Amino acid sequence: MRVYNIGRKGNQNFPLDKKEKVNDIHARLVISDDGVWTLEDLGSLNGTYIITENGEQVEVRKKQITEYTRIILADTSVMGSSFFAHHLLEQDPDDYRKEFRHLVEQYERISRQKGEMEERIKQRRMVLSILPAVTSSALGVSARLVFSNSSNIVYIIIGMMSGVTALLNMLITWYNNRDKSLKVFSMRMQNLLVCPRCGFPLTDYNLQAQQCPACKAHA
């Protein structure tokens, strides 16, 4: 079993002494003999957080995590600290090769998920786009049968079809504009694609180059 007491006076292999929001002993990470990683906050003033696989930031009291879970002590400002759990294993605190390789794998997975989501949204909008015409036609046929003896049937049908089509188009436009699922997904996933050293958001180019433009950390 390996135990890491993390903080300004912790036994981690990278310095946190200048991180003012981080406690002397802020959190503890225990790696059991069977490979279970458990992160525990030790009553810190500003909290311990992780970024989940869905890209959400959640506060941790005591929780099992993975080797590449992103840990946040206090916050992501210069007074807090952000790092991947794996970095506690690195003897060289400037070695980020494994973290960058993991980020590339994450980027490929996220790109696939984003493409699938875009395709689902495209198909849904295509179906919705033909709904007014189909509904209007069905209404026209029904009206024709109901008002078959009326001399004004043509005007009645045209009016009903126009009204229904306009209403449905308005509702579909409202729904499409309200659908923020892709935007929310992209924002959450960006929380995963950050520099393993400084937490700077990485672009597609940065990930392909496996280098951070802010702190110059690289694979």
Q: Are 185 and 115 in contact (CB under 8 A)?
A: no
- Winning range, highest mean pLDDT, from 74-78, 126-130, 173-177: 74-78
Q: Is the pLDDT of residue 12 over 60?
A: yes
Q: Is the pLDDT of residue 164 over 80?
A: no
pLDDT number for residue 186:
84
Please tell me the distance from the alpha carbon of residue 191 to that of residue 70, in angstroms, as a whole number.
9
Residue 161's pLDDT band, with cuts at 50, 70 and 90, is low
pLDDT number for residue 157:
59
Please tell me the distance from the alpha carbon of residue 187 to that of residue 183, in angstroms, as a whole number.
6
pLDDT number for residue 58:
96
Residue-wise pLDDT tens digits, 110-149: 999 999 988 988 888 887 777 766 666 666 666 666 666 6
**Full-model pTM:** 0.76
Q: Is the pLDDT of residue 18 over 60?
A: yes
Q: Are 45 and 69 in contact (CB under 8 A)?
A: no
Proportion of the chain above pLDDT 90, given as a percent: 64
pLDDT number for residue 17:
92
Stretch 29-57: mean pLDDT: 96
Q: Which residues contact 159 (CB under 8 A, 6 or more apart)?
A: none
pLDDT number for residue 146:
63
Give 36 or 155, the one with higher predicted confidence.
Answer: 36
pLDDT number for residue 170:
72
φ, ψ of residue 20 to 5 degrees: the values are -65, -30
Average pLDDT in the chain: 87
Q: Is the pLDDT of residue 26 over 80?
A: yes
Pairing of strands 48-51, 2-6: unpaired
